[in-house]
Structure 1
Amino acid sequence: MSRLKGVAGRDPRAGFRAERRDWGASVPQGLLKAARKSGQLNLSGRNLSEGKIQGYDPIVRPGRKHLPHCVWRINVDIPEEANQNLSFSATERWWEQTDLTKLIISNNKLQSLTDDLRLLPALTVLDIHDNQLTSLPSAIRELENLQKLNVSHNKLKILPEEITNLRNLKGLYLQHNELTCIPRGFEQLSNLEDLDLSNNRLTTVPASFASLSSLLQLNLSSNQLKSLPAEISGMKRLKHLDCNSNLLETIPSELASMESLELLYLRRNKLRFLPEFPSCKLLKELHVGENQIEVLGAGHLKHLNSILVLDLRDNKLKSVPDEITLLQSLERLDLSNNDISSLPCSLGELHLKFLALEGNPLRTIRREIINKGTQEVLKYLRSKIKDDGPSQSDSVTETAMTLPSESRVNVHAIITLKILDYSDKQTTLIPDEVFDAVKSNIITSVNFSKNQLCEIPKRIVELKEMVSDVNLSFNKLSFISLELCMLQKLTFLDLRNNFLNSLPEEMVSLIRLQTINLSFNRFKILPEILYRIPTLETILISNNQVGSLDPQKMKTMENLITLDLQNNDLLQIPPELGNCVNLRTLLLDGNPFRVPRAAILMKGTAAILEYLRDRIPT
């Protein structure tokens, strides 16, 4: 009642209307009204900075940037429409409101949160990322129902101990702050499943972290950690551990006993030795690139039964052991920028979809073969294997098992290597007998390179349920047919050296595509459809006429690691490209731009991105 009297006592010609105008400019009344019904309020990106509302919020100190008082009191105060004596229908009675459970106030300019936070005890989601917060109020302890708290991209230097009272918290996102330590009692967050502490200033991880028994994902990347506690192995459910970009010199051997671990990221550290992983039977990805590892031995490989991705780039490896063949599930192997002079021929027996070898002093395999891509390298290595050759039953001679019409088709490759190979024939059409030879066999790779094809064979669609690797390079293709777009298991596509200048919209259905090679074609822009394939990790589009790209759309490609734009027509490199921080390899040589200069390009991708970021207009 006192609040209503206050409203009535103001000058109806000035004060009341001024209050509504200021309030509405900051938090629209319609949003508040809708939030009382839905229990959700989204104030993201509304430039909220000044909390002071004339005549309404005397508690807020002028000049201090925090949230308007009305937001915290949304379920406490009588709404403005009630003060105006409006009539309410049965469905709009303000007193029948829903408690606010989700509050999003991200991307504003807030400098602090008040203790009025306690007035929203029903909150399950609080998202405050991308503000200017330097601290959190102690009243946060009263949000006992909170399940997700996002305070990333702020200026937090310390966390209040009261945060350990949030026992129902499942997701806690603290990346990109200025934290130097973790508060005592953090292990009490026993329901926490996802914890992101990346891009802070942490120097140690408390041993008590082991008590976070529900944790599934832990991101500690881009800190200043020199070691990990052995107790970390107590996280029995942990699947994803990211320790990229730290100062780690060793990894505790206990890490190898984490049975649930699936993804392990240790890039950009100071590791000299790689641990063995006898208990990590589920490990699918191991990223140890950009370290100082000198030896890869059989002991490192024999337990990695489920490994799909092995990243060893930018280390000091001198050799690859023959036991690499133990990794029968391996799909991606990155050995680039090491000191490897020869490869074991047994490597050719793996069913790799991507093999990176650039930057090694290889002497046993010609550069022209390496430049032809993964499948050509594997094919070359297989040809060097010293054995007795295929058994009589596998031979491609004309027998009762091999029809005369199939004699030109490599049936051995179909049966044993799962490859449909009809390359280097200089043919304009792929004969039906090639597809007929597949019969009931499983085919994972197709190689029709080095022919004179003007269109993609329509019968390739018959392989849509199994093929993952297609090589159509060195042909005369000027368009991509819809049949290719139906290969939904496709992960690797080689279209080098054709006459392409566009890609069809239908390629958006290639929901597993990871690598595409479009080098030596006729593209004038980066094809728009590529931005819409989120699984892409590698785009090779060198030696075209590309004159522009969209850095904002490229930033959304979170999996993109390699982008080769060499020898194109780029007159300038947009500074915003520097925000694509996931890029590990960005190649720009041979373009007519003036900056970045060659001295910057020679320093590598990280230096290029940093240079570009520094030139983004503020």
Structure 2
Amino acid sequence: MASRRGRFNPRAGFQRPQEEDPTGGVPQGIIKQARKSGVLNLSNRSLQAVPDTVWRINIDDPSEGKSLAMDAVDERWWEQTDLVKLILASNQLTEISPQISLLGALVTLDLHDNQLSSLPPSLGELQQLQRLNLSHNQLSEIPEEVCQLGHLLFFHVEHNNLRELPQGLSNFIHLEDLDLSHNKMSQLPEDIGSMKKLKALNASNNELTRLPWTMGSLKGLRTLDLTHNKLQELPSEIGYMSSLEQLYLRHNQLTELPVFKTTDSLKELHVGNNRIESLSLEFLQSIPGISVLDLRDNKISTLPEEITCLQKLQRLDLTNNNLSSLPFKLGTLANLKSLILEGNPLRSIRRDIINRGTMGLLKYLRSRIEEPAAGDAQNGSEQSASDPSSAMGASMVVSGKTLVYNDKKATSIPAHLWEPAKEKQVTSVNFSKNLLTQVPEHLILLSRTVVEVNLGSNRISSIPSDFKMMTSLSVLDLRNNSLSTLPAELETLQAMRELVISANRFSEIPPVIYSWTNMENLLVSDNQITEINVSGLLKLTKLSTLDLQNNDIRQVPPELGKMESLRSLQLGGNAFRNPRAAVLAKGTVALLQYLRDKIPT
């Protein structure tokens, strides 16, 4: 008997040869669903080419319509939706067909992370396009036709080989987010100033040697990143960006800083790793609203006393400069929470004073302002003040509206100090750097007036529930103790704006914190926290600073990127692998954007 393989097939001459799969390996079910939803996601499929079925999805009759029974009304293939979102990211595409113009209804086109070296001019026919992502490819130029996309809101071309941008950027009158980073551009076109609605511009990691003066016309710009370029100076017009909140100029060749002429909106200025030697009075007076000032790795030898005009300053980084002294009036910056001075040849301040941390150093500087000129009178005052049992000692400990009894190695607070503190309606209490094992019980006597309490660097292992009576409290420093939890009863502390619980034993951010909706600064570094409760943190809509460094966090939820109020997010020293260190080094804005891009859609 003949084998099955060798049998004669009498119908062989009537059969059509087997056709190639018109979907190019893309499951027909995905194409079918895209016709209904208007969204087609073909990312991460190792595609080397886009099948014609995708380009013609809006014009070809679906195959299911050819055999559809009239009673199958649930299919309704004739009511298909035009494709509005096409994601082809993370494939191996080397080109895009000119047929892309057939997708005239596209609003979003994502081609990032491919191997594209060119784009078809027909891309400019997608007149409805609002989001275009071409990042992480091999593009050396952008066709001028792309400038015809007048409705673009989002345009990313980072990590390519671009040396210049096409003429016609003035058509991007609606553009809000432009990322040109990690290319090879030596200059930006002058018509970039026409993008009146631009909110974020990232041109970092290029070869820029100058900026066009027209950038001063970017009145809506909030974030400008020019890190890692070759800028030696900035046009004075940059000072007219009236909405600018964050300016990143790190790793350039700047010798002086611009004067901001029309605004106090600037909140963060990062100019580390430049060649700045001094800070002019005019510059300092032009940034009264600044909260973060990064001047690390420059050549600053003197800090002018006029820096005290920056009353909203919270973080000042002067690492690796040439400072030998600090102005005493620096201690009067009431909102300064972080002063970083490593790598300076400071000679006028002892190392042990610097090691006390920001609060201790600022207190020392303030004390030098008030220091009597006569040496004998000074010695006498210190001797009396060292004895709180004396009348002068009590008056020095309870001075103005502050009660300061810190760095005494005390296991308790002298009882006779409480009554004078209550009479003077003390608002600030500092018991840090002692040997306290519990919160002083008489502290409750000051609950109506105290707004700031410092119990840092003690041996406190728990906070009593009656601490809930401190309803006026807005700043609480509990760093370097033995705490592992905070009582739920503290939800009454609705005035809380800043909490420091670094260097304790917390395995999670205490849940009660999520009820303090006025929180602005939360420092929780050097604990044992294993995960980030994003749903809780999102309740803190005013949170500006979040420090989670040196914990045991193994995963960073992408949803953390939704916290747009954050101005400083510190995550270094944890166990997670993503985001990588290179992403963390780009700063808070880039980190939040990175996380938002990872949120599943």
Same fold, TM exceeding 0.5? yes
The question of 1:214 aligning with 2:197 is answered yes
Q: 1:348 to 1:19 in 2, by over 3 A?
A: same
Instruction: Give yes or no for the alignment of 1:371 onto 2:355.
Output: yes
Cα deviation, residue 12, structure 1: 8.1
Per-residue Cα deviation, 1:180-237 (whole angstroms, up to 9, x for no partner): 0011112221111111111111001111211222212211111000111112111222
SS, match of residue 355 in structure 1: strand
Q: Secondary structure at the match of 1:19?
A: coil
Match of 1:529, SS state, is coil
1:454 matches 2:457: no
- How many angstroms apart in 2 are the aligned matches of 1:464 and 1:41? 53
Counterpart selection for 2:507 from 494, 497, 502: 502
- Which residue in 2 is equivalent to 1:476? 482
What is the aligned partner in structure 1 of residue 590 from structure 2? none
How far apart, in 2, do the equivalents of 1:134 and 1:530 lie?
40
The question of 1:98 aligning with 2:97 is answered: no
User: Within 2, Cα distance between the matches of 1:508 and 1:153?
Assistant: 40
- Distance in 1, matches of 2:281 and 2:89, equals 49
C-alpha contact 1:283 1:306 (8 A) present in aligned 2: yes
Quote the offset at 1:278 in angstroms: 2.5
Instruction: Work out the CA distance in 2 between the residues paired with 1:555 and 1:214.
Output: 27
Distance 1:236 1:462 in 2: 47
Counterpart of 1:158 (choices 125, 141, 145) is: 141
Assess, with a 3 A threshold, how the Cα gap between structure 1 residues 323 and 79 changes in structure 2: closer, same or farther: same
Partner of 1:596: none
Give me the whole-angstrom Cα distance separating, in 2, the residues matched to 1:562 and 1:358.
Answer: 20
Spell out the pairing of 1:308-457 with structure 2 (5 A cutoff). 308-350=291-333, 351-386=335-370, 394=401, 406-407=418-419, 414-415=426-427, 419-440=428-449, 443=451, 445-457=452-464
Instruction: Name the stretch that deviates more: 367-376 or 279-288.
Output: 367-376
Change (3 A) 1:31 1:555: closer
Instruction: Sort the Cα spacing of 1:409 and 1:110 in 2 relative to 1 into closer, same or farther, 3 A.
Output: farther
Q: How does 1:82-161 map to 2 (within 5 A)?
A: 82-85=65-68, 89-161=72-144
Q: Matches of 1:460 and 1:10 in 2, distance apart?
A: 93
Q: Deviations over 1:308-360 (max 9, x none)?
A: 11111111111211111111111111111111111112111111122211111
Could you tell me which amino acid in structure 2 is paired with residue 357 of structure 1?
Answer: L
User: Unaligned stretches of 5+ in structure 1?
Assistant: 1-8, 50-65, 398-402, 566-572, 586-618
Distance change in 2, residues 1:298/1:224 (3 Å): same
- Partners of 2:521 and 2:489 lie apart in 1 by 12
Specify the alignment match of 2:43 in structure 1. 44
Cα 1:411–1:260 change in 2 (3 A) is: farther
Supply the AA of the counterpart residue of 2:366: R
- TM-score calculated relative to the size of structure 2: 0.77
Q: CA deviation at 1:490?
A: 5.7
Q: Distance in 2 between matches of 1:463 and 1:141?
A: 62
Q: Which runs of 5 or more structure 2 residues have no equivalent in the other structure?
A: 1-11, 373-394, 405-414, 539-543, 562-567, 588-601
State the alpha-carbon separation in 2 of the partners of residues 480 and 279 from structure 1.
Answer: 47
Alignment-derived partner of residue 563 in structure 1 = 572
1:580 alignment partner, SS class: helix
| Residue of structure 1 equivalent to 2:18 | 15
**1:485·1:506 contact (CA, 8 Å) conserved in 2?**
no
Note the C-alpha offset of 1:361.
1.4
| CA distance in structure 2 between the aligned counterparts of 1:314 and 1:152, rounded to whole angstroms | 31
Contact 1:348/1:382 (<8 A) preserved:
yes
Note if contact 1:307-1:330 (Cα within 8 Å) is conserved in structure 2: yes
Change (3 A) 1:174 1:463: farther
Query: Between Structure 1 and Structure 2, how many residues are aligned?
Result: 524
Is the CA contact 2:35–2:82 (under 8 Å) kept in the aligned structure 1? yes
CA RMSD in angstroms, aligned pairs only: 3.7
Deviation at 1:92, TM superposition (A): 2.3
CA distance in 2, matches of 1:395, 1:138: 70
Q: 1:246 to 1:466 in 2, by over 3 A?
A: farther
- Aligned counterparts of 2:475 and 2:110: Cα–Cα separation in 1: 40
**Aligned residue number for residue 266 of structure 1:** 249
The match for 1:580 among 579, 582, 585 is 582
Amino acid across the alignment from 2:142: L
Q: Kindly indicate whether residue 288 of structure 2 is the aligned counterpart of residue 305 of structure 1.
A: yes
1: CA distance, partners of 2:145 / 2:522:
44
Q: Give secondary structure in 2 for the equivalent of 1:528.
A: coil
Code of the aligned partner of 1:406: W
Q: 1:528 to 1:301 in 2, by over 3 A?
A: same
- Cα distance in 2, alignment partners of residues 359 and 166 from structure 1: 50
- TM-aligned CA distance change 1:262 to 1:414, over 3 Å: farther
Corresponding residue SS for 2:329: helix
Aligned match of 1:171 in 154, 158, 167? 154
With over 3 angstroms needed to count, the CA separation of the structure-2 counterparts of 1:481 and 1:580, relative to structure 1, is farther
Aligned counterparts of 1:411 and 1:228: Cα–Cα separation in 2: 60
The offset of 1:28, in angstroms, is 2.5
Structure 1 Cα separation of the partners of residues 75 and 280 of structure 2? 70
**Is 1:190 aligned with 2:192?**
no
How high is the sequence identity, in percent, across the aligned residues? 38
Task: Encode CA deviations 1:348-405: one digit per residue, 9 max, x unaligned.
Answer: 11111222111111223333333332222222222222278999865879xxxxx977
- Taking structure 1 as reference, are residues 576 and 495 closer, same or farther at Cα in structure 2, changes over 3 Å only? closer
Tell me: CA distance 1:491–1:394, structure 2 relative to 1, closer, same or farther (3 Å): closer
Asked if the contact 1:101–1:125 (Cα under 8 Å) also holds between the matched residues in 2, the reply is yes
Question: For the pair shown, which has the larger CA radius of gyration, 1 or 2?
Answer: 2
Question: Which is further off, 431-440 or 80-89?
Answer: 80-89
